[in-house]
Amino acid sequence: MKIICVGRNFKNHAKELNNEIPKEPVLFIKPDTSIIRSGDDLYIPEFTDNLQHEVEILIKISKVGKYIQPEFACNYYSEIGLGIDFTARDLQDELKEKGLPWEKSKAFDRSALIGNFVSKEKFNLDNLNFSLVKNNQIQQKGNTSEMIFSFDFLISYISQFFTLKMGDIIFTGTPSGVSKLNENDLLEGFIENERFFEVRIK
Ligand code: ZN
């Protein structure tokens, strides 16, 4: 399986990092070695002094597809979830400045927290609140209505470049409020009032 991540899908987050609002989705990939699950611990890697969280809605692909048209994209997933795209922000800034690929800062071991999944029928996907709670305080808050690119558009766009296979996961972008993580921080993720993961920083 593979993980496809979308960068800069919320205007307020693009702004907080001084990035332009994109005309097309920004994509990158994480390997399967990046995966951790709810309840696991995350150790801050030695190569960063600024590990940050990006809470994101996840789409789990349920059918093989290539060149999927947006109007049929809804047939290619039946479950959504919540996760964190962990980012070594200092390293990413360095790579961005040099015009180099981001992988070292985004796709390292244990950089993709994949929480629980539920049937997409359970929620109104066009108006879905999600949040990240850090040490019992809300740190990030988003609503899918604020996304620049919709789920269906993203699936269609991604499938032009990468064949989507059953079990692949799409990270759909983070809202504003990203922050530096410290040892002992506790992160919990919510869609509406339902908890989808917890992870402790070590
Ligand atoms: Zn992200």
Query: Mean pLDDT, the chain, as a whole number?
Result: 96
Confidence of residue 11 (pLDDT cuts 50, 70, 90): confident
Question: Residue 59 is part of a domain; what is its CATH number?
Answer: 3.90.850.10
Statement: residue 178 has pLDDT above 80: yes
Q: Which two tokens stand for residue 38?
A: 């709810």
Q: Which residues surround ligand 1, an ion (CB under 5 A)?
A: 54, 85, 174
Q: Give the 3-state secondary structure of residue 50.
A: coil
How many angstroms separate the alpha carbon of residue 183 from the centre of ligand 1? 21
Give the residue numbers spanning the domain of 51: 3-201
**Residue type for 113, please?**
L
Give me the mean pLDDT over the 114-132 stretch: 97
Give the model confidence (pLDDT) of 105-114 as tens digits. Answer: 999 999 999 9
Give the total number of structural domains in the chain.
1
How many angstroms separate the alpha carbon of residue 184 from the centre of ligand 1? 22
Give the model confidence (pLDDT) of 59-94 as tens digits. Answer: 999 999 999 999 999 999 999 999 999 999 999 999
How many angstroms separate the alpha carbon of residue 63 from the centre of ligand 1? 24
- Give the Cα separation of 110 and 31 in Å (integer): 10
Residues 6+ apart with CB under 8 A from 21: 8, 11, 14, 148
Residue 37's Cβ-side half-sphere holds a number of Cα atoms within 13 Å equal to 2
Give the model confidence (pLDDT) of 20-47 as tens digits. Answer: 777 899 999 999 999 999 999 999 999 9
Q: Which helix (H) or strand (E) holds 25?
A: none
